[in-house]
C-alpha cells in the first residue's frame, strides 16, 4: 500500500460555505483511494484565499509534518488548487522539493506521481501552471468586460442587494418593507445620533439590518440608495461630509495598509498584523492589531500601542544596519543554503534506514512464533542488534535536526539589502508614517521574514498592571553576531 496525504483547498470562504468545492474534492479523493492501492495517513483542507505560502496555514502544517507522516505522495484534485498564478504556484511547489515526496493531481491521470525533483516533471508542472494562469487572465478579462457592459446599460453589478433594496431583473429598487428604515437612519444620522445607537435601533426593528456600526458607515457612502431613489442627492452629499468629518476626527482615513507598522509584524498565531489610528482622551495614537483578535484562540496580542514596540523595532534595525551588515547577510545567505540541502539529504537517508530497520523488525517478530527454539534464540539476538542500530540511528537523526535548527536563516535578497540598508536610517526619521511603512515592509521582504510580536506578561484593563511586549525575529537573530537580551524578545516567553 502506498502512503498518501490529501490536500484540499477552496480559494474563498464563500466557496466553502456554499458547498461548492471541499466536499467535491473529498468525494474525488475517496473514489481515487477506492480504486488504487493507497492508504491515506492524513487529510489537510483549508478555505481561504492566499497567494503566498505564509497565508496557507494547512499547507505549512502539511510541509512541517512530512517527516512524521512520511507519505509517498501528496494527492490534490487539480494543480490549480494550489493557485492559478504562475509565480505563486512555483513558489508553493518549491517548498515540496527536497522532501522526496511525489505529487498526484487526479485530473492528470498519470500512471505515476509527479516527481518535483525531476527536471522533466518540473517542466510539465510549469507548463500546467502557465496554462492555468492564461485561463485566469482570460477569465478576468471576460468578467471585467461583463461588468463594464452592465455599467454602460445601467444594470446592477451585485447579486447581493444592500439592506433596504431588492433586485428586480438587473436593477436595484426600493424594498417596500425596509426602505423606510434606511431613510429614518439617514435622518437620525444627520440629526446627530451615533452609528452604534442606530445600528442597535435598526436591528431591533429588523434583525436582517446591518450587523455592526461599520455596516451603517458603509451604507452612508453607498450611492446605490441614490440611484434607487431611496436617498436624495442632497442627503448623500450631507452624509459624505459627515463621514469626512468623523474620519478626520477619529483618524480613520488611513485605518489599514498605510500606517507605520501595517504588514510588518507577525502575531503569535501566524497572522500578519495591521495598524489602526485611534483617538484616546483627545490624543491620536496608533495600535498594532491582529486580524484574528475576535476569535476564540487564547494568548493573542489583541493590540499593543505602537510606541511600546517602536524602541524594540529601532534596536533591531540599528543592529541590522550596522557597519558590515551587508557582508554578514551575504555570508549567511550563501553558506546556509547548500549546507541545509546537504543536511536534508542526510536526514532523508536516515529516514530510509529507519524504515528498513522497521521492516526487519516486523519480519523478526513474525519469526518469534516459530516453535523451533534455535530460531527463536537467533531472532532474539537479531532484535537486540536492531535495538542498538535504531538507537544509533535516532541519535544521528537528532544531531542532524539540531544542525538544521541552527541554520534557520531566511532567504535574503542581498541586492535589495545592499541598496536599502545604507539609506534606511537616514530616511526613516524624516518620513511620514505611510512612507515609513513602505520602508519597513521593504526591509522585511529583503530579509525574507517578519518579526513576531509576543506578549511577555499579561495585563490590561482591571489587571492592575501593564502588559509588556517583545519582538522575536529568529531568522534574523540566527545570523547576527550577538543576540539581544530578553527585553528584546528573543529569549523571553510567557
Residue range(s) defining the domain that contains residue 331: 326-406
Please report whether residue 264 resides in a domain: no
Whether residue 257 is contained in a domain is answered as no
pLDDT band for position 186 (cuts 50, 70, 90): very high
Percent of the chain with pLDDT over 70: 76
Please tell me the predicted confidence (pLDDT) of residue 235.
92
Q: Tell me, what's the pLDDT at 17?
A: 44
- Quick check: is 256 in a domain? no
Q: Which residue has the higher pLDDT, 228 or 93?
A: 228
Task: Tell me if 276 is assigned to some domain.
Answer: no
Average pLDDT estimate for 156-176: 84
In a domain, 41, yes or no: yes
Question: Could you tell me if 54 and 13 lie in one domain?
Answer: yes
Same domain, 338 and 209: no
Q: What is the dihedral of CA 349, 353, 355, 356, to 10 degrees?
A: 140
Cα angle 223-227-230, degrees, rounded to a multiple of 5 = 90
Q: Are residues 71 and 185 in the same domain?
A: no
Candidate ranges 88-97, 164-173, 353-362, 364-373; pick with highest mean pLDDT: 164-173
- Same domain? 177 vs 122: no
Q: Are residues 58 and 175 in the same domain?
A: no
Is 356 or 330 the better-scoring residue by pLDDT?
356
Highest mean pLDDT among 161-165, 246-250, 399-403: 161-165
- Span 377-416, pLDDT tens digits: 787 888 788 888 887 888 888 778 777 665 554 566 777 7
Total domains present in the chain: 3
Picking from 250, 283, 300, the residue at the C-terminal end of a domain is 250
Which CATH number covers residue 92? 3.40.50.1390
Q: Are 172 and 189 in contact (CB under 8 A)?
A: no
| Structural Rg of the chain based on CA atoms | 29
Q: Which residue has the cell 534464540?
A: 377
Q: Which residues pair with 173 in a beta bridge?
A: 166
Largest CA distance in the chain: 102
Task: Determine whether 105 is exposed, middle or buried from the number of CB atoms within 10 Å of its CB (0-12, 13-18, 19+).
Answer: buried
Same domain, 58 and 136: yes
301 inside domain? no
Taking phi first (over 0 means left), then psi (-120 to 50 degrees means alpha), and beta for anything else, what does residue 127 get?
alpha
Amino acid at each position: 500500500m502506498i502512503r498518501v496525504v490529501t490536500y484540499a483547498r477552496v480559494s474563498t470562504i464563500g466557496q466553502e460555505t456554499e458547498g461548492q468545492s471541499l466536499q467535491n474534492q473529498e468525494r474525488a479523493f475517496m473514489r481515487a483511494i477506492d480504486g488504487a492501492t493507497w492508504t491515506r495517513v492524513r487529510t489537510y483542507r483549508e478555505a481561504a484565499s492566499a497567494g503566498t505560502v505564509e497565508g496557507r496555514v494547512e499547507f505549512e502544517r502539511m510541509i512541517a509534518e512530512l517527516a512524521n507522516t512520511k507519505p509517498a505522495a501528496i494527492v490534490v484534485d487539480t494543480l490549480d488548487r494550489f493557485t492559478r498564478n504562475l509565480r505563486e504556484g512555483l513558489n508553493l511547489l518549491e517548498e515540496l522539493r527536497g522532501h522526496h515526496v511525489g505529487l498526484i493531481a487526479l485530473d492528470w491521470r498519470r500512471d505515476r506521481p509527479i516527481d518535483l525533483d525531476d527536471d522533466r516533471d518540473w517542466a510539465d508542472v510549469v507548463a500546467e501552471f502557465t496554462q492555468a494562469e492564461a485561463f485566469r487572465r482570460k477569465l478576468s478579462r471576460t468578467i471585467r468586460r461583463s461588468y463594464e457592459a452592465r455599467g454602460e446599460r445601467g444594470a446592477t453589478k451585485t447579486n447581493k442587494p444592500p439592506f433596504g433594496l431588492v433586485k428586480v431583473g438587473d436593477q436595484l429598487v426600493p424594498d417596500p418593507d425596509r426602505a423606510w428604515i434606511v431613510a429614518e437612519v439617514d435622518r437620525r444620522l444627520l440629526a446627530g445620533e451615533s452609528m452604534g445607537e442606530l445600528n442597535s435601533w435598526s436591528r431591533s426593528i429588523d434583525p436582517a439590518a446591518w450587523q455592526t456600526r461599520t455596516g451603517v458607515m458603509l451604507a452612508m457612502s453607498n450611492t446605490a440608495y441614490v440611484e434607487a431613489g431611496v436617498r436624495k442627492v442632497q442627503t448623500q452629499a450631507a452624509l459624505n461630509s459627515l463621514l469626512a468629518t468623523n474620519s478626520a476626527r477619529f483618524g480613520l482615513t488611513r485605518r489599514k495598509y498605510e500606517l507605520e507598522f501595517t504588514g510588518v509584524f507577525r502575531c503569535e498565531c501566524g497572522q500578519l498584523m495591521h495598524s489602526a489610528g485611534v483617538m484616546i482622551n483627545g490624543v491620536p495614537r496608533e495600535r498594532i492589531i491582529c486580524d484574528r483578535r475576535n476569535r476564540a484562540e487564547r494568548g493573542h496580542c489583541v493590540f499593543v500601542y505602537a510606541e511600546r514596540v517602536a524602541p524594540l523595532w529601532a534596536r533591531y534595525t540599528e543592529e541590522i544596519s550596522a557597519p558590515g551588515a551587508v557582508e554578514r547577510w551575504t555570508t549567511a545567505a550563501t553558506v546556509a543554503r547548500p549546507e541545509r540541502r546537504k543536511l536534508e539529504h542526510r536526514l532523508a537517508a536516515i529516514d530510509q534506514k529507519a524504515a528498513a530497520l522497521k521492516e526487519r523488525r516486523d519480519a523478526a517478530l513474525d519469526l518469534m512464533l516459530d516453535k523451533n527454539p534455535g530460531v527463536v534464540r537467533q531472532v532474539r539476538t537479531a532484535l537486540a542488534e536492531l535495538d542498538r542500530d535504531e538507537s544509533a540511528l535516532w541519535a544521528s537523526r537528532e544531531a542532524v535536526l539540531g544542525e538544521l535548527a541552527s541554520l534557520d536563516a531566511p532567504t535574503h535578497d542581498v541586492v535589495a539589502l545592499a541598496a536599502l540598508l545604507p539609506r534606511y536610517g537616514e530616511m526613516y526619521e524624516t518620513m511620514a508614517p505611510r512612507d515609513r511603512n513602505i520602508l519597513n515592509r521593504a526591509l522585511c521582504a529583503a530579509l525574507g521574514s517578519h518579526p513576531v510580536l509576543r506578549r511577555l506578561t499579561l495585563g490590561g484593563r482591571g489587571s492592575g498592571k501593564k502588559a509588556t511586549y517583545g519582538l522575536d525575529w529568529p531568522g534574523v537573530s540566527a545570523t547576527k553576531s550577538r543576540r539581544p537580551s530578553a527585553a528584546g524578545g528573543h529569549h523571553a516567553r510567557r
